[in-house]
Chain A
């Protein structure tokens, strides 16, 4: 069983190494001496140090700027895995992938995945080294295998997508139900205020979905969620009022754009749906500033992307079930 795991791991490691070095210029093999020397390299602070030079000849560069993996197995023990690219400064060539594995007692184990062009003997040494660690640190290889498999998968995805910026694909889909801070909230007096500047005590508009009548409620709290790269659903809504007149066709076109996390509830003509579930063509109640009335706007376009690292916000009010955000009726959480 262990041999099978090792074989899978080795294959995966080669793939990962190859995927990583595809873009490098003249990748050269990691030598046996370098393999041994790199085992002495340490990172003083795995939480903070993302780029560390050694002997002015090598660099450990945090792989993809990734946060560490924390893996808890069926034994309930929490392990931490940090990945760093080993770079030879001469020509800035990526010659390996350093793995820092910290167990629940704080004991650190290091493994160095050689680059694809490394000699078979270096690969053999790596194979033996991780097997030896596995003898003293139970399930080390299993957990290493999981982490490397996940990263092989990521590299494969990246290659398939032409190496494009992965920020959007790595958006956070969490439980936070909220809006970006620059959405505009309709206040009691009809003015608009940026969501991030809303304070408790502010008076905002709520609409009764049954009657389309608006009333005023007071903000109890503006909930702020920590800055992450939240996935955001973006709806472009449009309403068109067309009249045939004697001189021609008179068109009043009104558009609105709303962004929120995909799980934010919205009331549509088809019932209550999460933002991410709304389809183009569905209708949402909005304030038509041209008529001053609440009218159904149709979803013309819907996109969902990472919005970049930012805080997101939500209003907790002392009444009502809805709010007006960018002129669009949204449900309170």
Chain B
């Protein structure tokens, strides 16, 4: 209050403002209430995985901080990328159409149900912009992947966080109960990041069918390829049956394309049209598209990458058990476990030992999220962890 009075006094005394006092006192107060800082906040700073990567030293023994897949991209994708360089001077409209058709054909949908971008991040941003317009709220689990809701909060929207259940799964009933006239979107990350928990497919389908009649449901399936039956667990079938839901997929995880950037959403044509107003629709490079065409549903590679991930994950479980730690059983390529020390201290000490992991605080506990890497990376984790556990 004292500040605003001082500010008002200053405005009154300033010759600069002569003639505009009444109008400006409101404008200036709003300005001082941080919009300047808010608008100037660097976009990338809100991507917490990106923060972790940016803060990590360039050389790590084990980079287990961003849920990347160190077994990808596949040799076929790499070869296609190299070959695509020669035609790099051409805009890749045609090959992009091929990729759209390939995805649509596999999923049994029309290419009008698909919207691609360089990774799912631009699509999450588009959804944040569209569904938070006019101060609408985004309902998410807490903790869950915060890219979309944090974008929304930075813009016009509000972020309604719903605590997870006792077994660290998204609480669908509680999320549904939070829906009101101001809800713009319900965001479901399944499997959930950072807890790697999975929802019961039948329950989620019923939720999507019921809730999407009131409000759009966005199901982020970034980690679905790590499940035993991705197609059976996906909500794309629910979209095909007519529900107003959006399903996001990415090549960044099991396909090993995190650095190449390729992602897409699947939704009703009207939704695709609405969201395409908030994207360029043309951010993918020719090389990435070529790699994605070669790598899409390359079952042998995906199976092998999954098997290696599961082997590393089993090893991680054994390390944690041996050191007397519990963990949340994981349905993805990362594992969350509670720490017995300050989590930021733990991350910093692990980093000193060449191992990058991420920390969380929730449910009055300190947590570590460790991504699944190659076996040599998991051994480096084990060695460093033993020094701290």
Contact = CB atoms under 8 A, between A and B. Distances in A.
Interface of A: 48, 50-51, 53, 61, 65, 89, 92, 182, 236, 238-240, 242, 244, 249, 251, 253, 255, 257, 280-281, 283, 296, 298, 300-301
B27 A253 contact: yes
Nearest to A253: B27
Given A53-B387, A280-B7, A300-B7, A240 B32 contact: no
B16 interface: yes
Given A255-B31, A280-B10, A240 B36 contact: no
Contacts of A239: 16
B319 to A, nearest CB: 15
Nearest to B353: A51
Interface in B101-153: none
A300 B31 contact: yes
B20 A240 contact: yes
28 contacts: A48-B352, A50-B349, A51-B345, A51-B387, A61-B345, A65-B345, A65-B348, A92-B340, A236-B31, A238-B28, A238-B31, A239-B16, A242-B17, A242-B19, A242-B23, A249-B20, A251-B27, A255-B31, A257-B37, A257-B40, A280-B7, A281-B10, A281-B13, A296-B16, A298-B10, A298-B14, A298-B16, A300-B7
Given A51-B349, A53-B388, A239-B16, A300 B32 contact: yes
Interface in B36-52: 36-37, 40, 42
B94 interface: no
A244 B20 CA distance: 9
Contact of B28 (A89, A242, A244, A300): A300
B13 to A, nearest CB: 7
Contacts of A300: 7, 28, 31-32
Contacts of B40: 257
A55 to B, nearest CB: 13
- CB-based closest 4 A-B pairs: A242-B20, A281-B10, A51-B349, A242-B19
B6 interface: yes
Given A242-B24, A257-B40, 20 more contacts: A50-B349, A50-B352, A51-B388, A53-B387, A53-B388, A65-B345, A89-B340, A92-B341, A182-B42, A240-B24, A242-B18, A244-B19, A249-B23, A251-B27, A280-B7, A280-B10, A281-B10, A298-B16, A300-B28, A300-B31
Nearest to A182: B42
B326 to A, nearest CB: 15
Contacts of A92: 340-341
A238 B6 CA distance: 16
Interface size class of B (residues with CB under 8 A): 20 to 34
A296 B16 CA distance: 9
A236 B36 contact: yes
B7 to A, nearest CB: 7
A92 to B, nearest CB: 5
A85 to B, nearest CB: 11
Contacts of B31: 236, 238, 255, 300
Nearest to B366: A92
B251 to A, nearest CB: 31
Interface string B65-103: 000000000000000000000000000000000000000
Contacts of A240: 16-17, 20, 24
Nearest to B323: A56
A281 B16 CA distance: 10
Contacts of A251: 20, 23-24, 27
Contacts of A50: 349, 352
Query: Most chain-B CB neighbours within 10 Å: which of A244, A281, A283?
Result: A281
B341 A281 contact: no
Nearest to A234: B37
Contacts of B37: 257
B37 to A, nearest CB: 8
Contacts of B27: 251, 253
A121 B70 CA distance: 56
A117 B165 CA distance: 38
A280 B10 CA distance: 8
